[in-house]
């Protein structure tokens, strides 16, 4: 599988996990947390568009950064949901 496709699918998987968590009825996310998630995944979208439209100079580095942003968003979501569960 092409590297770009693998990385894009990884970002999609993380985004789907975050979306699933957000759709649960027991989510106690603050406005600030939701803004952070929105910003991270919006940046992921911009990065992927730059790669697929060839406006990115270094595809590999852009994709690595994109996956990292998606992981940060995922971890932010999971960390906050575990905090709520423990309380």
Show me where the domains of the chain are located: 30-87
H or E element at residue 5:
helix 3-23
pTM of structure: 0.80
Q: Token pair of 59, please?
A: 């595809």
Work out the pLDDT band at 27, boundaries 50, 70, 90. low
Q: Give the model confidence (pLDDT) of 35-69 as tens digits.
A: 999 999 999 999 999 988 999 889 899 999 999 99
Question: Reduced to 3 states, what is the DSSP secondary structure of residue 24?
Answer: coil
Alpha carbon distance 46, 58 (integer Å): 14
Distance CA 2, CA 15 (A): 20
């Amino acid at each position: 599988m092409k590297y770009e496709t693998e990385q894009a699918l990884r970002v999609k998987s993380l985004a789907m996990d975050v979306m699933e968590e957000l759709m649960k009825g027991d989510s106690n996310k603050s406005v600030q947390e939701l803004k952070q998630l929105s910003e991270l995944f919006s940046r992921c979208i911009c990065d992927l568009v730059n790669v697929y439209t060839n406006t990115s100079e270094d595809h590999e580095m852009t994709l690595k950064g994109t996956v990292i942003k998606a992981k940060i968003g995922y971890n932010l979501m999971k960390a906050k949901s575990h905090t709520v569960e423990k309380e």
